Structure 1
Amino acid sequence: MARDDLVFIAGAGPVGLAAAVELTRRGVPVRIVDAGSGPTPAEQSRALGILPTTLRIFEASGLTQDLLAAGTTITGAQIAIGGKPALSLDLAKARTPYPFILSLPQGKTERLMIAWLKARAIAVEWNVAVTGIGDTRRPTVRLSTGEEVAVRAVLGCDGSHSKVREELGVPWVGESYPGVFALADVIFSEPIDPHRAKISLGVDSQGSHALLPMNDRSARLIGFHDAPERLVEAVGGIESVTWQSTFRVAFRRAERMSRGWVFLAGDAAHVHSPVGGRGMNLGIWDAAAFAQLFSERRETEYESQRLPAVKAVLDQTLEGTTTLGAPPVYASIALRYLMPTATLLPTVSRRVAERVLALDLPQPEWL
C-alpha cells in the first residue's frame, strides 16, 4: 500500500543521510537504503571539509555541535609558489558564525548522522539496492530483496553511477578533465599546525598540491600527481600513509534534477573535482533544499532552485582546478605581489574568505 507522505531515499552516503535527517526533523517519514554493506570506513577522510552553510543547516537538528566537537577547524591557509611562501590567507573576516572549514573524515560525519537517525528509530537498510522505480508520477520502488514499495517521492542520492538517474533516463552534460589527482591520508613524524591548510602551486614541471589537516599529526594530501607516492614525496616529513588513491575527474551534471516525483541530489546529479571542497557540501545543500520544499509542498521548485547553484559551483571548481593544475603567469604574479597588499583591505580580505568558504553562493532561504 502506498504511503502518501513517505520519501524513499536511495543511497546512505553523506547526502542521503542528510536528506533523512532534514526530512525527519521536519516530520516527514523516510525510508533509506544503500547497496553497500555499511558506511565509509571511519579512518578514511574521503570528503573531508564541512563548510559554514552546512554547519548552519545542521543547527536545527543539533548535529552541528556534534560535528564541531568531533572535527578540527581550519582557519586559514599558507600559499606557496614554487616552494617559496607567497600569501597567508585568513578566514576570520568572513561574515558567518563559522569562519572556518571544519575538517572531519567522511566516515565520522556519516556515523554521527546514522546515530542521530538511530536515536529516532530510523535505521539504514544496508545491502539493499534499488532495481527499478516504475512510473515517475506514482513511484513504486523495486528492491534487490524482491520487495516493491509504493511511495510519495524518491530522492536519488546513489552516487555518480546512480540507478535512479538511469531509471529516469536523464543524461549527463559537461566534459572530462585531462588530469589525474592523487590522494593520501598521512601521519606526520612531527606535529603540524592543525588549523592551517597549506597550498603549494607548482611551477614548470612541478605538480601543485594541498595539505588539509585532520589533527596535529595527520592530514589529507591532494595533488596533481599521477601516483600517491609522488605526492607523498613532494610533501616530506611523513611517517606513514593510512589510505591512498588516484582518480580522474569530470565536470558534469544531470541534464535535469527531477522528473515527476523522482528527484536527484549529490553525485547522482553532479560531479566535479575536489578543489574547493564543494562536492559533499553541495550535495547536502541539495538534500536540505529538497527537505524544505517537500515539507512545504513546493517540491516542483526543486530543480529550478538547485540547477543554477550546481552550475555556479561547477564553473567555480573548473576555474580553480585549471588554475591549480597549470597556474598561469598572471596568477602567480597576483598571489605573490598583489594579493598580500590587497588583503590588507578589510573588504578584500572578507570577500576572499567568503569565496573560499562558498558564502558567495546563494544561501538557503530558510537560514
Structure 2
Amino acid sequence: MARDDLVFIAGAGPVGLAAAVELTRRGVPVRIVDVGAGPTPVEQSRALGILPTTLRIFEASGLTQELLGAGTEITGAEIAIGGKPAFSLDLSKARTPYPFILSLPQGRTERAMIAWLKDRAIAVEWNVAVTGIADTRRPTVTLSSGEAVAARAVLGCDGSHSAVREELGVPWVGESYPGVFALADVTFSEPLDPHRAKISLGADNERSHALLPMSDRSARLIGFHDAPEKLVEAVEGIETVTWQSTFRVAFRRAERMSRGWVFLAGDAAHVHSPVGGRGMNLGIWDAATFAWLFSEGRETEYESQRLPVVKAVLDQTLEGTTTLGAPPAYASLALRYLMPAATRLRPVSRRIAERVLALDLPQPEWLAS
C-alpha cells in the first residue's frame, strides 16, 4: 500500500541503517531492504573508526552510549619514519565531547542499529534487490520479489555498485589510484596499548602501514602492500590473523546526489581510500543530513549541502593517500623535522587533532542548535 510519507531505503549497511534510525526517531516511516543475506560478519572489522561527529549524531537515538560501551577509544598515535620514532599525536586537545576515534568493528556497529530498529518493530528485509525505479518525482521501486513499492522518497545506500544510481543513470566522476591496499585483522601474543594507534611511514623503498587497536590484544593493520602476508610480516608480535584482504581504491563521486525524490548516500555517492577513516562516517553524515532535511520538508537542499563536503573529503583523502603512499621529498622532510616541533605547540596540536577527527569539515546544522 502506498504511503505518502514513506522513505524507501536501499541498502542496510551502516549508512542505510543510520538513515533508518535517524528517520524513525524523527517520526518518518521507513522500509529498508538489502540484497545481502545479513549484516557484515562480526569477525570482519571493515569500517572500523567512528568519528566524533557520528557519535554526536547518534546521541539523540541513544546509540552513542551503547557504541561507547562496546568500542575502544583511540586517543592518539605514535608516528615512526623509517622504523624510528618521530613524533606523537594527541587527540585530547580537540574541542569536542569525544576527542578520540572510537574503534569498533563494522559488524557490531550494524548490529547495534539493527537491534535499535527491531525494538521499534522495523526489520531489515534481507535478500531483496532493487530491480527498477519508475518516475523519480513520484518514485515507485520494483523489487526482486516482483513487488512494487510507492514511496515519498527513495534513498540509495546500496554501495559503490549501487542499483539505485544505475537506475538514475548518474555517472561517476573522478579517478582511480594506482596503489594496492592490504588489510588484516590480527591478534598479538603480548598486550598492546589499546588507546594508541601506530603509524609507520616508509622511508626509501619501505611501505607505509598503520595499526589501529580494537582491544588490548587485537588490531587492524592496513598498508600499501600488494599482499596481506607482506603487511603482517612488517609487524612484530602477531599471533594469529583472523581476516585479511586486498583492494584497490578510486577517488570518485556521483555527478549528482539526487534526481527528483531519489537520493544517494554513502558509497553509492562517493568512494575514496581508507586513509583518515572518513568513508563510513561520511556516509552516515549523508544519511543523517537527509533525515533532518526530509523531516523539515527541505530535502531539495540535500545535494547542495552534501556535495561540497564530499568534494572536500575526496580532496583531503587523495592528498593524505599520496603523502603516505608516495610522499614527495618536501613532505618527508616536514614530517621528519617540522612535525615533532609543531605538535608540541598547543594551538597547532589542537588544529592537527581536529583535522584528524574531521572536525574541520562543516558540522551538521542541527547539532549546533
SS in 2 for 1:314: helix
CA distance in 1, matches of 2:55, 2:78: 24
Alpha-carbon shift at residue 327 of structure 1 (Å): 2.0
SS in 2 for 1:102: strand
Alpha-carbon shift at residue 51 of structure 1 (Å): 0.1
Task: State the match for 1:198 in structure 2.
Answer: 198
Alpha-carbon shift at residue 189 of structure 1 (Å): 0.9
Q: In structure 2, what residue type is equivalent to 1:246?
A: T
CA deviation digits over 1:151-189, x for unaligned, max 9? Answer: 100000000000000000000000000010001000011
Contact 2:3 2:151 in 1 (8 A): yes
Q: Report the TM-score, using the length of structure 2 for normalisation.
A: 0.99
Q: Say if 2:245 is the partner of 1:245.
A: yes
Q: Say if 2:282 is the partner of 1:282.
A: yes
Q: Say if 2:273 is the partner of 1:273.
A: yes
CA distance in 1, matches of 2:113, 2:271: 23
SS in 2 for 1:235: coil
Task: State the match for 1:172 in structure 2.
Answer: 172
Task: State the match for 2:293 in structure 1.
Answer: 293
Alpha-carbon shift at residue 332 of structure 1 (Å): 2.2
CA distance in 1, matches of 2:336, 2:325: 17
Residues 180-259 of structure 1: pairs in structure 2 closer than 5 A: 180-259=180-259
CA distance in 2, matches of 1:331, 1:141: 49
CA distance in 2, matches of 1:342, 1:91: 14
Task: State the match for 1:344 in structure 2.
Answer: 344
CA deviation digits over 1:307-353, x for unaligned, max 9? Answer: 00000000000000000001222222222221121222211011000
CA deviation digits over 1:59-103, x for unaligned, max 9? Answer: 000000000000000000000000000011100000000000000
CA distance in 2, matches of 1:81, 1:344: 18
Task: State the match for 2:321 in structure 1.
Answer: 321
Task: State the match for 1:13 in structure 2.
Answer: 13
CA distance in 1, matches of 2:346, 2:208: 29
Task: State the match for 1:154 in structure 2.
Answer: 154
Q: In structure 2, what residue type is equivalent to 1:222?
A: I
Q: In structure 1, what residue type is equivalent to 2:251?
A: F
Contact 1:201 1:327 in 2 (8 A): no
Contact 1:3 1:151 in 2 (8 A): yes
Of residues 43-52 and 333-342 in structure 1, the stretch that sits farther from structure 2 once superposed is 333-342
Unaligned ranges ≥5, structure 2: none
CA distance in 2, matches of 1:186, 1:180: 19
Q: Say if 2:34 is the partner of 1:34.
A: yes
Contact 1:41 1:107 in 2 (8 A): yes
CA distance in 1, matches of 2:91, 2:62: 24
CA distance in 2, matches of 1:224, 1:267: 22
Task: State the match for 1:97 in structure 2.
Answer: 97
CA distance in 2, matches of 1:70, 1:330: 41
Q: Which runs of 4+ in 1 moved over 3 A?
A: none
Structure 1 vs Structure 2 CA RMSD: 0.6
Alpha-carbon shift at residue 205 of structure 1 (Å): 1.2
Contact 1:203 1:327 in 2 (8 A): no
SS in 1 for 2:46: coil
Q: In structure 2, what residue type is equivalent to 1:26?
A: R
CA distance in 1, matches of 2:89, 2:329: 20
CA distance in 2, matches of 1:36, 1:2: 25
CA distance in 1, matches of 2:198, 2:80: 8
SS in 2 for 1:31: strand
SS in 1 for 2:309: helix
Task: State the match for 1:106 in structure 2.
Answer: 106
Task: State the match for 1:3 in structure 2.
Answer: 3
CA distance in 2, matches of 1:118, 1:350: 40
Task: State the match for 1:51 in structure 2.
Answer: 51
Q: Say if 2:256 is the partner of 1:264.
A: no
Contact 2:309 2:362 in 1 (8 A): yes
Q: In structure 1, what residue type is equivalent to 2:308?
A: P
Q: How many residues align?
A: 367
Contact 1:184 1:245 in 2 (8 A): yes
CA deviation digits over 1:273-306, x for unaligned, max 9? Answer: 0000000000000000000000000000000000
SS in 2 for 1:216: coil
Query: How high is the sequence identity, in percent, across the aligned residues?
Result: 89
CA distance in 1, matches of 2:234, 2:194: 20
Residues 53-92 of structure 1: pairs in structure 2 closer than 5 A: 53-92=53-92
Q: In structure 2, what residue type is equivalent to 1:106?
A: Q
